[in-house]
A and B are shown apart, each in its own frame.
Chain A
Amino acid sequence: MLVREIMTKQVVAIGPDTPIRDVQLLMEQRNIRHFPILDHDSQAGGADRLVGIVSDRDVRLVGADHPKAPEGVKSSDPVSALMVSPVITADPEDPIEETAKTLRERKIGAMPVMEDDRLVGIVTAIDMLDALVRMSGVTEASSRLEVEVVNRPGALAGLLDRVASRHINVSSVMTSRSDADTVSFILRVGTAAGHELAAHLRGLGYTVYWPPERV
């Protein structure tokens, strides 16, 4: 899954001269938490250039009685007084896990998505959560299975083979935990007889963490 597939394409961007109070209003009206800030660049043939980004948190702190409130910034000031620059951006072709890692490492909530020098979207931590939900397969009617296999080539293939031989479709596979000897996978399997499949796998010697064994 790539950033292109999960990003919001209709980006609401603002100019650096927009008064902070207008940005605040726009955030509330449109229910948006991050605004990229574009400046008209006359040098580059009139193209818009990404010069900063501002979040709802930045805006809310203006004039607030709070140790982190920006000093000397008033809500009538242009947003350029508040914006964060330079901006950490993503590429539409970036794998989403890489972007997720950047969001966490840089402790930011959103990244504008740039294709060449053009703003084509924005991707947020919420988009990442949505993607995780989709990747987990939980949105499709299925049963959850968590199985441990030995950590060696072919072990997962062997497990999937056991599932396939019972004509059960696998809609998602995720790694849950691993060490040198073992690795566990969370599978979403397209069967209402999830407990029977678990019992079958236990019978074959697999450690099945989920669903829990019947008492």
Chain B
Amino acid sequence: MKGPDNAFVYDPQLAGFDLAEDHPFKPIRLELTRTLLQSCGLLTADQLVAPAPLAERALLEVHDHRFVEAVKAASRGEDEHGARSYGLGTSDNPIFEGMHEAVMGVAAATVTAVDLVATGRARRAANFAGGLHHAQAARASGFCLYNDLAVAIRRAVDEHGLRVAYVDLDAHHGDGVQWLFYEDADVLTVSLHESGRYLFPGTGHTYETGKGAGRGHSVNVPLEPFTEDESFLEVFDLVVPTALRWFQPDLILLQAGADMHVRDPLAEMSLTLNAMQESYRRVATLADELTGGRLVITGGGGYDPYRTVPRAWAHAWAALTDQQLPEELPSAWLAEWRERLGSLAADLPDTSQEDAGEFPPVPRRAAIARRNRLVATRTIEMLQELWDSLELDGGRA
């Protein structure tokens, strides 16, 4: 008998809002991704699942009610002033009408993805509209209003009784999720990111390892700017499998922000699609090994919205469903989007893969790789000691 299918949680409305006209966070990435997958035959109509509505109660498991009330008022256009003390009304987090409903919709979609996988109705699931990892309990931050990831993790832990490993491969540190579960033993957060020295939000140091019951449950590897494929995968292999195997999760939640790519204008990492897709495949393999396959993938950052993000996330879906993107992208898809986007899609690539030789060589390559290796090795050594001491204290909670 055929097992449950994979679910692509999708709500056309999620692709329909813009934070602001010239805002770098572009939901059109979702439409490009979905149509690319459909035209490649990697996504079928019955894999598209509409998100179930989310009760506000679920949001309040993570967010402060005064914050939510202030967002709602500003979202109705009533009181913008109240929302300003919560990080809103800035160029990163503009106030726009209907923002509460729009971002509730994002959270609903990530929660739906987790629910489907937790209950076995789907083998694996993705919500590329999700991944708002910077949102804090009472603060909008870094393009993120509500933390859909944290809401979904809370649901997985509290309602489904699952231990969740959160893996964050966005170029920016997954600070919101980390701090919301910093003292929680049921959730492991692992973030690989460009060092906070150079990049927002500034956190994600190696020594942020969790607190109280959550000791040893936060893993951070700050990477050098201009890190390339080989070094990134080396760090991934040093840290991620070890941490996940120690934790023994029931579910892996992957935040697949696509801004580590060399073409991303906001961060300064130098990955190509090669390392990105390879890291997605490795996470999927870890899910097979550790969670009976249970894996949910969300989107996240990614500010080269036409050339890079759709291909990166198509690779993520391909990894999730054990498929491969065709080498050549469908000409009908290319034609459609070149038509729709005009000059924006002037350099839309026609292949799914990249050749590292396309990009200028990075100076100091060996020094960057050496430094990353050192940080990753130290991180895992330090955590190993911490984990051993937790065992001595009577095992993990």
Question: Are these two chains actual partners, yes or no?
Answer: yes
- Contact A195 to B201, CB < 8 A, known contacts A168-B90, A168-B91, A168-B92: no
Contact call B143/A215, Cβ cutoff below 8 A: no
Known: A141-B175, A215-B226. A190 touches B87 (CB 8 A): yes
Q: Which residue of A lies closest to B24 (CB)?
A: A193
Check B266–A144 contact: CB distance below 8 A.
no
A192 with B200: CB separation less than 8 A? yes
Q: Report if B136 contacts A (CB, 8 A).
A: yes
State whether the Cβ of B184 lies closer than 8 Å to any Cβ in chain A: no
CB distance from A192 to the nearest CB of B (A): 4
Please tell me if A188 contacts chain B, counting CB pairs below 8 Å: yes
A191 within 8 A of B: yes
Do A191 and B91 have beta carbons less than 8 Å apart?
yes
- Whether A141 contacts B203 by the Cβ 8 Å rule is yes
From B92, B136, B203, A192 is in contact (CB under 8 Å) with B92
Give chain B residues whose Cβ lies under 8 Å from the Cβ of A196: 24, 265-266
Bound Cα distance from A152 to B363, whole angstroms: 38
Is B141's beta carbon under 8 Å from chain A? yes
Given contacts A169-B90, A193-B266, contact A141 B197 (CB under 8 A): no
The answer to whether A142 touches B266, judged by C-beta atoms less than 8 angstroms apart, is no
Residues 266-303 of B, flagged 1 when their CB comes within 8 A of A and 0 if not, give 11100000000000000000000000000000000000
Query: Does A101 sit at the interface, judged by CB under 8 A?
Result: no
Residues on the B chain within 8 Å of A15, using CB: none
Q: Are B92 and A194 in contact (CB under 8 A)?
A: no
Say yes or no for A214: interface residue by CB 8 A criterion: yes
Contact yes or no, A188 B92, CB < 8 A? no
Across-interface contacts of B175 in A (CB, < 8 A): 141
Instruction: Pick from B141, B202, B265: contact of A138, CB below 8 A.
Output: B202
> Is A72 engaged at the interface, CB distance under 8 Å to the other chain?
no
Q: Does A203 contact B (CB under 8 A)?
A: no
Q: Please tell me if the beta carbons of A167 and B202 are within 8 angstroms of each other in the complex.
A: no
Distance A190 CA – B85 CA, assembled complex (angstroms) = 13
**Given A141-B134, A141-B175, A195-B266, do A188 and B202 touch, yes or no (CB 8 Å)?**
yes
Across the two chains, which residue of chain A brings its CB closest to B259?
A: A192
**How many angstroms between the C-alpha atoms of A129 and B94 in the bound complex?**
34
B215 at interface by CB-CB < 8 Å = no
A66: Cβ under 8 A from any B Cβ? no
A68 proximal to B (CB < 8 A)? no
B198 at the interface (CB under 8 A from A): yes
Chain A 21-65 interface residues, beta-carbon cutoff 8 Å to B? none
Tell whether A212 is near chain B: CB-to-CB under 8 Å. yes
A192 and B172 alpha carbons, distance in the complex (Å): 9
Chain B residues within 8 Å of A106, by CB: none
Closest to A191 in B: B92
Chain A positions within 8 Å of B390 at CB level:
none
Q: In the complex, which residues of chain A have a beta carbon less than 8 angstroms from the beta carbon of B249?
A: none
Query: B residues touching A (Cβ–Cβ < 8 Å)?
Result: 24, 87, 89-92, 94, 134, 136, 139, 141-143, 172, 175, 197-203, 225-226, 265-268, 362-363
- Which A residues fall within an 8 A CB radius of B? 138, 140-144, 166-169, 188, 190-196, 210-212, 214-215
Would you list 27 pairs from A and B whose C-beta atoms are within 8 A, ordered by A residue?
A140-B202, A141-B134, A141-B200, A143-B201, A143-B202, A144-B197, A166-B91, A167-B91, A167-B94, A188-B202, A190-B87, A190-B141, A191-B90, A191-B92, A192-B142, A192-B143, A192-B201, A193-B91, A193-B92, A195-B199, A195-B265, A195-B267, A196-B265, A211-B268, A214-B268, A215-B362, A215-B363
Q: Lowest 10 CB-CB distances: which A-B pairs, in order?
A: A141-B201, A167-B91, A192-B200, A192-B142, A143-B200, A141-B141, A211-B198, A191-B92, A167-B90, A166-B91
